[in-house]
Structure 1
Amino acid sequence: MPLIDVSGLERTFVVRRRAGFVRRTRSEVRAVHDLTFSVETGEMVGYIGPNGAGKSTTIKMLTGILVPTAGSLRVAGLDPSRQRTQLAQRIGVVFGQRTTLWWDLPLRDSFELLRKIYRIPDARYRENLDRFVELLDLGDQLDTPVRQLSLGQRMRGDITAALLHDPEILYLDEPTIGLDVVSKGRLREFLRALNAERSTTLLLTTHDLQDIEALCDRVIVIDHGTSVYDGSLGGLHAQGGSSRTLVVDLVDEGPPIDVPGAWVRKVEGPRQWLSFPTEASAAPVVAAVAAAYDVADLSIQEPDIEDVIRDLYSRGA
């Protein structure tokens, strides 16, 4: 049985709007519609979509915060809304724009409170805390009140708090929002190590597609509350019709390069841009160019995932 099993999931909200001095109208907004997917133990899955697509609503149903309107949902063999207490021991959640830490307490005290809430054995708590503090570079911030931490430090504290009880599943909702490049890199390295060492399952929602490319082998794209793509990053590029680019610097200017399997997209003096299918190997194209032309330099540019996602949304709309 998959660790996360979602089938035909629906969630609607009732919205009341003013239609006069005392009159109100009532309408239903469908946030999630006929959503079906499953996640196996140890997978790192990117869950992406535009604002209002239903990502956060899905996470809230997976954690038991919201009750589905229809469909079936099991997480670690449990019904999230009916067995929320049992499920809380097996999941960790980080919402990038909210914190689970106590604002005026030192970071260390927040961790101690969570130890008591989750009833974590002392030895296990000390081992986890020491490990995460080292990996996330939080040693100098343990005695600092949460309100005095930078956004990056607070985010690393939130992730530590979510993992102290050894959850099987980690939900991350915009975990790198507002972080600088260094903090993002450190966080990505930590998550990769966590997955490799403990097989922690990761479901990541984010607008930073570099997070997805750095961490996830599988992507679920959601739009208007339903899945429009579920598969590998490579498959997403193929579906979007994207291409890779070979940038060729010739020794001298010349006519457009003509080699099998590629086509010239742009020419500027001795530099030419050749496109070829994403799923194709670059080796034959590079070899053909090098054999037939005087080449000064070569480089390969990978397709921009943001363009692929944008094209997928526009075709869906």
Structure 2
Amino acid sequence: MLSIEARGLTKDFKIVQSREGMKGAFRDLFDRKYRTIRAVDEIDLGIQSGEIVGYIGENGAGKSTTIKMLTGILQPTAGELKVNGFDPHREREQFVRTIGVVFGQRSQLWWDLAVRESFRLLKKLYGIPDEKYHAHLDRLTEVLEMGPLLEQPVRKLSLGQRMRCELAAALLHQPSLLFLDEPTIGLDVLVKENIRRFLKQINQEYGTTILLTTHDLSDIEALCHRVVMLDKGTIIYDGGLTELSRQWGGGPRLYLELEEEWDLTTLQGFTKDITAEWQHVGDRCYRVLLTGDNPSVSEVLSRVVPHASVKEIRIEEATTEDIVRRIYQEGVPNA
């Protein structure tokens, strides 16, 4: 079953095209000219129930606009959209009871109230029965270690403490779909790890579908098996992290420090049958890029060691951040 189903989803914005100078500004008061900007361009997106999906892109790629359409804040200009079986904008009242939303830079808690009082207000807003509310809050309090925080005003919480409470607030009504926008922004490593562990747990325990938007690709690597990449309002990649690395990672990079200098042509000759590219990167240091369909470090070493003495070996795999940066700088390979 699909939690999110979008077909040809499009959003245009009409903005004022200002004229230059004081005279132009005066004319704009009475005769405005507009131009249309397409923020999201006919995207197709399907997310199965229970998936954790990373939704990434550079600033201005259309991520926030997409999320606002998916959560019912904005109405699409064109296309078809169903989220949890609802039209998010037209059936907003019923729809919002099925989702939770956490924005890393915005709060849904009342600043001067104790955390527990904010939770009680949310309980009334969502119409959660007492028994269900108390049982679920106890569970969230235990897993997120919020016990000492419940009686404190939100304004006195640290960023990490507030984010734990924001997650609990978004999950009080046990939504089937959770939207996370930069949930770990500004948090230290330990707090990030705790939040990631919690998100995995609720996904496994309740089958909660999670759509994660972030610039921190370590969150994507820790939580998501699937990533959707957006650029200029269109989806340029939708698939698994493993496939992303295999197709566009460029293969592993082998760094060798040899006992003596070697000519690159000679070294290239040792590995001419296994698609390896040699580069000189320093005094007696070489980088070997393995670009074949099934690159093997051991095969490179088996051809080099009988001829050259190897002093040190280091192997590096391209990180998700490296791959994404390459795609945005160079464009989609083989597109």
**One-letter identity of the residue aligned with 1:274:** V
Structure 1: which 5+ runs fail to align? none
Q: 1:294 and 1:132, CA in 2 relative to 1: closer, same or farther beyond 3 A?
A: farther
Are residue 140 (structure 1) and residue 166 (structure 2) matched?
no
Are residue 159 (structure 1) and residue 167 (structure 2) matched?
yes
Are residue 168 (structure 1) and residue 179 (structure 2) matched?
no
- Specify the SS of the correspondent of 2:8: strand
Match of 1:123 among 99, 109, 131: 131
Q: State the match for 2:74 in structure 1.
A: 66
**One-letter identity of the residue aligned with 1:308:** I
Q: State the match for 2:37 in structure 1.
A: 29
Larger deviation, residues 142-151 vs 121-130: 121-130
Superposed CA deviations along residues 35-56 of structure 1, whole A, max 9, x for unmatched, are: 1110001111110111111111
Superposed CA deviations along residues 232-266 of structure 1, whole A, max 9, x for unmatched, are: 1132234435222234566x446476454544445
Q: State the match for 1:221 in structure 2.
A: 229
Larger deviation, residues 148-157 vs 125-134: 125-134
Sequence identity percentage? 48
- How many Å separate the matches in 2 of 1:180 and 1:74? 36
Give the TM-score normalised by the residue count of structure 2.
0.85
The Cα shift of 1:88 comes to: 1.2
- Conserved 8 A contact 2:54-2:224: yes
- Specify the SS of the correspondent of 2:33: strand
- How many Å separate the matches in 1 of 2:206 and 2:128? 17
Q: State the match for 1:187 in structure 2.
A: 195
- How many Å separate the matches in 2 of 1:142 and 1:241? 45
Larger deviation, residues 80-89 vs 283-292: 283-292
Q: State the match for 1:113 in structure 2.
A: 121
- Specify the SS of the correspondent of 1:162: helix
- Specify the SS of the correspondent of 1:154: helix
User: Which structure would you say has the larger Rg?
Assistant: 2
Q: State the match for 1:51 in structure 2.
A: 59
Are residue 230 (structure 1) and residue 244 (structure 2) matched?
no
Q: State the match for 2:9 in structure 1.
A: 9
Q: State the match for 2:302 in structure 1.
A: 288
Q: 1:312 and 1:82, CA in 2 relative to 1: closer, same or farther beyond 3 A?
A: same
Q: 1:63 and 1:272, CA in 2 relative to 1: closer, same or farther beyond 3 A?
A: same
**One-letter identity of the residue aligned with 1:312:** I
The Cα shift of 1:90 comes to: 1.2
Are residue 314 (structure 1) and residue 322 (structure 2) matched?
no
Larger deviation, residues 125-134 vs 183-192: 125-134
- How many Å separate the matches in 2 of 1:44 and 1:127? 25
- Conserved 8 A contact 2:86-2:95: yes
- Conserved 8 A contact 1:243-1:303: yes
Q: State the match for 2:290 in structure 1.
A: 276
- How many Å separate the matches in 2 of 1:282 and 1:125? 55
Q: 1:279 and 1:167, CA in 2 relative to 1: closer, same or farther beyond 3 A?
A: farther
Superposed CA deviations along residues 266-291 of structure 1, whole A, max 9, x for unmatched, are: 55456544332497465744873797
Q: State the match for 1:304 in structure 2.
A: 319
The Cα shift of 1:194 comes to: 1.6
- How many Å separate the matches in 2 of 1:253 and 1:311? 33
Q: 1:288 and 1:187, CA in 2 relative to 1: closer, same or farther beyond 3 A?
A: farther
- Specify the SS of the correspondent of 2:112: coil
The Cα shift of 1:228 comes to: 0.9
The Cα shift of 1:108 comes to: 1.3
Are residue 89 (structure 1) and residue 104 (structure 2) matched?
no
Give the TM-score normalised by the residue count of structure 1.
0.89
Structure 2: which 5+ runs fail to align? none
